[in-house]
Amino acid sequence: MVDPKRGSLLALTMLVLQKYGGSSVADLERIRACADRCVATANANGGLIVVVSAMKGETNRLIAMANALVQGASEDASGDPGQGDYVTAARRSAEHDRELDQLVATGEKVSAALLAMAIGDRGGRAVSLAGHQLGMHTDRSFTRAKITDISEQRIRAELAQGRVVVCAGFQGIDDRGDITTLGRGGSDTSAVALAAALRADVCEILTDVDGVYTTDPRLVPRAQKVHAMSYDEMLELASLGAKVLQIRSVAFAKKYGVRVHVRSSLHDGPGTMIVAPEEVARIRGERGTPSMEAIEVSGVALQRDEAKVTLVDVPDVPGVIAEVFGALGSGGVSVDMILQNASRNQRTDITFTVGNADLEAATEVLGRLRPGGESLTLETDRAIAKISIVGLGLRSHAEVAARVFSVLATENINVQMVSNSELKMSVVVQERYGELALRSLHSAFGLDAPT
């Protein structure tokens, strides 16, 4: 077989993978625009694999039908479809989940076939491949399947024929040939996994933003696009709510060293490269980012969806803290920051944050506990904001913490909680100061765009 990266006949120089999200294929006009871009990319590079999501709204339409069919389920498929699970928990069964996957996977098949037709109409040559054709093998965890293996033969053969290979994202097959899906946002994972298996030179995530920004431009108008960022930084930013890439796909990219390029589907300008740290340094150097010694902060994020819980004056004896967090875990409450004050007379305060949506469950769980035989005194506060600074090697720079505290002190903002890790430093402040803290820190760490 001809190796498409070295193809003797076609002299392919680069193998590019492009992923188009649901809004990029939302209607026929946008599908035509994608087709134009595919043709141009294929002409410029030689080899092109495309991964598409379902047309915007289609997945929800299909899920709404499934939910409405099943007695007792809500006819309303709203909620935030971008987050977490999309299965109506009440009716969950292995059979139902299997059918749900057979159902929703059709959305990506439709957009893949339409895009392939449009490329043909634009003078290109293309073939669409659905889950069972593109060799995406998964386990049998319907609605949240894990990729086990990718058979690349069919894709390689189509590339060798000079075709753009348009893959239906989000789906695979298990070893019985049943359709599985990779969970919400799974098309990102499809894209990165295919880029890894086919050893693509780059995995382009084409989206409706220009790239990854130093912070949310709606909050900080002087936010800048980041030229390059390491996988770990992107993981931290994604966990802080940056929606540009699904977390799992970033972890996958890191594991297999896939170079990811997040860029606009509307223009050709460069976006943000998500790559290994060495390449981050190289790209930043090329683009004139400050010297190696400067603190490399990639972004600052503000989260307002957490609440703070303080357990006042609890016995500081072994087992109490384990009982508290064990009970929260069993109760399905996930805890973010945890802070324990120094002990006085074997009593201490414990403070932690949870998602606002989990606060009620947390207080209920804790209300039932009697650690060391006494009930707990709780203080809760929803009016908090968390600001996080993300960058390579933050922890090694003691000055980062100093600068954070100094900036916030200058603004008279009291810091309620602090945590830091290799890549991230987070502070909790009163909610009303959240945006001010964000803007001040964004500026202090040199992230503001030149005026």
Q: How far is CA 81 from the centre of its chain?
A: 14
Q: Smallest gap, in angstroms, from Cβ of residue 28 to its own copies?
A: 5
Binding segment for its own copies (CB under 8 A), chosen from 104-112, 350-358, 373-381, 431-439, is: 104-112
Q: Are 168 and 207 in contact (CB under 8 A)?
A: no
Q: Would you count residue 54 as binding its own copies (CB under 8 A)?
A: no
Binding mask of the shown chain, residues 142 to 171, with x at each position contacting its own copies by CB under 8 A: ------------x-----------------
Q: Smallest gap, in angstroms, from Cβ of residue 179 to its own copies?
A: 7
Q: Would you count residue 98 as binding its own copies (CB under 8 A)?
A: yes
Q: Smallest gap, in angstroms, from Cβ of residue 361 to its own copies?
A: 29
Decide whether 132 or 304 has the Cβ nearer to its own copies: 132
Decide whether 99 or 431 has the Cβ nearer to its own copies: 99
Q: Which of 5, 30, 32, 282 binds its own copies (CB under 8 A)?
A: 32
Q: Would you count residue 362 as binding its own copies (CB under 8 A)?
A: no
Give residues with Cβ within 8 angstroms of 61, minimum separation 6: none
Q: Smallest gap, in angstroms, from Cβ of residue 167 to its own copies?
A: 12
Q: Would you count residue 63 as binding its own copies (CB under 8 A)?
A: no
The DSSP annotation for 347-392 comes to EEEEEEEEEGGGHHHHHHHHHH--GGGSPPEEEEE--EEEEEEEET
Residue 341 DSSP code: P
Decide whether 71 or 451 has the Cβ nearer to its own copies: 71
* Residue 126 main-chain phi, psi, to 5 deg: -150, 160
Q: Smallest gap, in angstroms, from Cβ of residue 289 to its own copies?
A: 43
Of the chain, the end-to-end C-alpha distance in Å amounts to 55
Q: Smallest gap, in angstroms, from Cβ of residue 198 to its own copies?
A: 18
Pick out residues in 199-218 that bind its own copies (CB under 8 A): none
The three-state secondary structure class of 446 is: coil
Q: Are 170 and 159 in contact (CB under 8 A)?
A: no
Q: Are 437 and 411 in contact (CB under 8 A)?
A: yes
Q: Would you count residue 112 as binding its own copies (CB under 8 A)?
A: yes
Number of Cα atoms under 13 Å in the Cβ half of residue 216: 15
Q: Would you count residue 114 as binding its own copies (CB under 8 A)?
A: yes
Q: Would you count residue 106 as binding its own copies (CB under 8 A)?
A: yes
What's the rounded Cα separation, in Å, for the pair 129 and 184? Answer: 20
Q: Are 83 and 184 in contact (CB under 8 A)?
A: yes
Q: Smallest gap, in angstroms, from Cβ of residue 201 to its own copies?
A: 26
What's the rounded Cα separation, in Å, for the pair 51 and 119? Answer: 14
Pick out residues in 120-139 that bind its own copies (CB under 8 A): 120-121, 125-128, 130, 132-133
Q: Would you count residue 438 as binding its own copies (CB under 8 A)?
A: no
Residue 314 DSSP code: E
Pick out residues in 65-94 that bind its own copies (CB under 8 A): 65-66, 68-71, 91, 93
Binding mask of the shown chain, residues 326 to 355, with x at each position contacting its own copies by CB under 8 A: ------------------------------
What's the rounded Cα separation, in Å, for the pair 432 and 101? Answer: 44
What's the rounded Cα separation, in Å, for the pair 355 and 334? Answer: 8
Q: Is the dihedral of CA 393, 395, 396, 398 positive or negative?
A: positive
Decide whether 4 or 107 has the Cβ nearer to its own copies: 107
Angle, helices 58-69 vs 106-121, to 10°: value is 150
The contact set with its own copies (CB under 8 A) reads: 28, 31-32, 62, 65-66, 68-71, 91, 93, 95-96, 98-100, 102-103, 106, 109-110, 112-114, 116-118, 120-121, 125-128, 130, 132-133, 154, 176-179
